[in-house]
Amino acid sequence: MRAVDFYKKILDAEGIENQVFEYSPGRGDFWARLPHTTAIPKRPIILLNHMDVVTSDAAHWRVPPFSGEIKGGWLWGRGAQDMKDEGLAQLVVMVMLKREKVELDRDVIFLAVADEEADGTGTDWFITHQRDLLENAEFLINEGGENLLENGRVKYVGVDVGEKTTFWLHVVAHGRPGHASRPIADSAPNRLVRALSRILAYQTPIRILPVVEEFLRQMAPYEPPDQAREYRNIRKALDDKKFQQEVENDESLNFLLRDTIALTMLGGSEQTNVIPPEAWANLDVRILPGGDPKALLAQLRKTVNDPNVTLEPLNDEFREANYSPTNTLLYETIRKVAGKYFPGTPVVPHITSGYTENQRYRPLGIQAYGFNPYTATEEEGNSEHGNDERIRVEEVRRGPRILFDVVAGVAGGK
């Protein structure tokens, strides 16, 4: 609600229509709208952002994670990459559209939601209780995509047209408890370690989605000769076991071609000298569109092969991954605007490694894309959900202009 109050104060001062929805104590959604100025409007465009951020441990940061300190040419703070930066760019775009008196042939809706990083309650509440305020929108811009900066030049502008979906698993090992001064070979922690070792050694099958094939093919001209040859015909390249091994070791490529499994949480005894009856772990599993979570779960249980270890989904509901096409006005506008700011840089469809709430809006008939108006080096991008999250000050200045041009290109009446 502190973020809601921040947004509301600014848009109230600008005379922009808005509403606040505090759906639980301290948690709320914020909606604002610039109405169309034409007699016959087109369907609206939504600028979506989430106001929450993930946790952070200040002991591992070079600056306090909530300081917003400007140092060394960067603005530092939790949310600088995910996604306070985009939320603020969207806010600036709303103000620019109003102050510049841009004629609009469709409504422009600003929607800031709570708790995307937890379980999406803000978006779920809004869709359930305020569906009419989405106004049968045609387009939505959200987080996602990637504009990779290498050696001072943007390598590509990646537009998120689809995302993997989450399938989190809870692993529990059971064993005989006792005093830790007498080790127990089949203790719960020992069983858990063996089970996790088998799971992490397992490689899920490679699957090549058409959008990934298109992405790699478009990137081929910008790669070294050997890699370009592989990217032009990724299906043939993957017949080579050596190249398969290279893919498995390449974090930027591996997640595009298979379901992934990451160990994220562990738990056991509350005391060092106590062997517990149970030990547990959580796995962050990400499934490509078209994947079968039940089949993957059955395979992992078979891989563990221990009746004293259980694997169960953390969430009751599994949301199948979905896509938006690349032959829309919004996608084409992003391509044109990117060409203006980054001449000669390819604009390519992208599958993001992380889940975004685009998945929740596409079933409503909205073409949803992840588009980031900021560029980032690999190191800067990796600070998302990590330590020392930051964004270059020059990007904070330029990004809102890029997003403004995209939105004005889609919604401008002239």
Is the separation of the CB atoms in 368 and 362 below 8 Å?
A: yes
Please state the φ and ψ torsions of residue 26, each to the nearest 5 degrees.
80, -5
Interior angle at CA 368, CA 325 and CA 114, nearest 5:
160
Place of tokens 């809004």: 126
CA distances from 97 to 30, 91, 403 (A): 18, 10, 11
Is the separation of the CB atoms in 142 and 150 below 8 Å?
A: no
- The β-bridge partners of 309 are 173
- Residue-level length of the chain: 414
Question: Could you please report the per-residue DSSP string of 62-121?
Answer: SS-TTS--EETTEEESTTTTTTHHHHHHHHHHHHHHHHTT--BSEEEEEEEES-TTTT-H
Q: Check pLDDT > 90 for residue 317.
A: no
Query: Of 347, 337, 350, which Cα lies nearest the Cα of 398?
Result: 337
Is the separation of the CB atoms in 133 and 31 below 8 Å?
A: yes
Task: Compute the chain's Rg from CA coordinates.
Answer: 23
Distance separating alpha carbons of residues 314 and 289, to the nearest angstrom = 20
Q: What is the DSSP letter of 221?
A: G
Distance separating alpha carbons of residues 127 and 144, to the nearest angstrom = 20
Q: Check pLDDT > 90 for residue 252.
A: no
The SS3 of residue 173 is: strand
Q: Check pLDDT > 90 for residue 226.
A: no
The SS3 of residue 74 is: strand
Q: Check pLDDT > 80 for residue 413.
A: no
Cα atoms in the 13 Å half-sphere on the side-chain side of 159: 29
More confidently predicted of 91 and 225: 91
pLDDT category at 414 given cuts 50, 70, 90 is low
Is the separation of the CB atoms in 112 and 50 below 8 Å?
A: yes
**In this predicted structure, what is the pLDDT of residue 320?**
80
Cα atoms in the 13 Å half-sphere on the side-chain side of 408: 19
Is the separation of the CB atoms in 184 and 175 below 8 Å?
A: yes
Average pLDDT (221-234) is 89
pLDDT in tens, 121-155: 999 999 999 999 999 999 999 999 889 999 899 99
Q: Give the rounded percent of residues in the chain with a pLDDT score beyond 90.
A: 84
Is the separation of the CB atoms in 27 and 118 below 8 Å?
A: no
Q: Show the beta-strand stretches assigned E in 268-373.
A: 274-275, 278-287, 309-313, 347-352, 367-370
> What is the pTM for the complete model shown?
0.84
Query: Of 143, 137, 119, 132, which Cα lies nearest the Cα of 21?
Result: 132
**Do strands 146-150 and 178-179 pair parallel, antiparallel, or not at all (unpaired)?**
unpaired
pLDDT in tens, 347-370: 999 888 778 999 999 999 999 999
